[in-house]
Amino acid sequence: MCQECGCSKPGPYQVGERLVDAHHHTHTLPDGRIITHTHPPSPRADATADNHGHGHRHPHDHGHHHHHGHDHSHAHPHQVLNLNTSILNTNDRMAEQNRGAFKALNLLTLNVVSSPGAGKTALLTKTLNELKGRLRCGVIVGDLATDNDAVRLRTTGAAVVPIATGTLCHLEANMVAEAMKQLDLRALDLLIIENVGNLVCPASFDLGESVRVVLHSVTEGEDKPLKYPPMFHSADVVIVTKTDMSEAAGFDRELALKNIRQAAPHAKIFELSSRTGDGVKAWCDHLVELQANGKALR
């Protein structure tokens, strides 16, 4: 979101080396004029009705003209517009464009989400190493700041495009579309999108992925699926990570699996440890199989 004028356009974000400045805004004013502006670093403190702090003025030159010679009331009739339109329309349309591109290329695409520290990057690093020679992989990785995750993922030899979202707590479909331009998608079989670590906001934003993967580490306890139902319900696959630490964490496996099944009865469940490699093969075999079948789940 643009936090200067508060409109829903994202702030500037960085895709690889390229800075995408979304701060050139086009707004449609209620009176119908369309204005484009950029944001100077001016605060809202001097905001007035005409100049509300984003570097341009809205002229109020639309006075009423009453040419007619009869009495009339200024009580304009109220009109109800039934719209029933999706608020996420813009993102959803862009996500469908991405999905179309992925399908045309027979590219299996994962959107990997979890709370921070659940082991997304560790799992992806392990997965990329395991899939060498089986699938050609590319990665788009989102974080608020730093490209630390991208550096870790590049050690696998995979093509990695980092997105620094700035202040945004999730990836949006247009950011993925930008990042896709920096990858040779035709040379890939699998595109993994590592979302920002957050179990709330990314649930609402479709990126165009074929499979949504939600991670749940054993160190997070057993009730995450019940605390974050929208995210878990949106999962096609749930992966229980860090299983090598189950005992130390006092993890109640049966209860956790029951909770996952309750929140996401349709999801396929894997249990693995990225550190010991236990269970990773079953997960990678599943990806190879999905890709071979050209099976888009969404």
Q: Which is nearer to other proteins, 13 or 283 (CB)?
A: 13
- The distance from CA 290 to its chain's CA centroid, rounded to whole angstroms, is 22
CB 203 within 8 A of CB 230: yes
Q: Which is nearer to other proteins, 43 or 133 (CB)?
A: 43
Candidates 36, 48, 73, 82; binder of other proteins (CB under 8 A) is 82
Q: Select the span of 107-115, 179-187, 242-250, 256-264 touching other proteins (CB under 8 A).
A: 256-264
Q: Does 216 bind other proteins (CB under 8 A)?
A: no
Quote the least distance from Cβ 276 to other proteins, whole Å: 31
Residues 173-212, one symbol each (x = binds other proteins by CB under 8 A, - = not), give ---------------------------xx-xx--------
Q: Is 179 helix (H, G, I), strand (E, B) or coil?
A: helix
CA angle, residues 166, 189, 205, in degrees to nearest 5: 35
* 14 C-beta neighbours (distance < 10 Å), count: 18
CB 256 within 8 A of CB 266: no
Q: Does 63 bind other proteins (CB under 8 A)?
A: no
Q: Select the span of 81-89, 99-107, 244-252, 286-294 touching other proteins (CB under 8 A).
A: 81-89
Candidates 55, 100, 157, 230; binder of other proteins (CB under 8 A) is 230
Q: Is 159 helix (H, G, I), strand (E, B) or coil?
A: strand
Q: Which two tokens stand for residue 221?
A: 């306890």
- The distance from CA 23 to its chain's CA centroid, rounded to whole angstroms, is 20
Site for other proteins in 110-149 (CB under 8 A): 144-147
Q: Which two tokens stand for residue 236?
A: 């096609």
Candidates 60, 69, 73, 81; binder of other proteins (CB under 8 A) is 81
Q: Which residues contact 266 (CB under 8 A, 6 or more apart)?
A: 236
Question: By CB under 8 A, how many residues form the interface with other proteins?
Answer: 60
Report the C-alpha gap between 254 and 80 in whole angstroms: 52
Residues that bind other proteins (CB under 8 A): 1, 3, 6-8, 12-14, 19, 27-32, 44, 47, 52, 76-90, 144-147, 164, 166-170, 200-201, 203-204, 226, 229-231, 233-234, 261-267
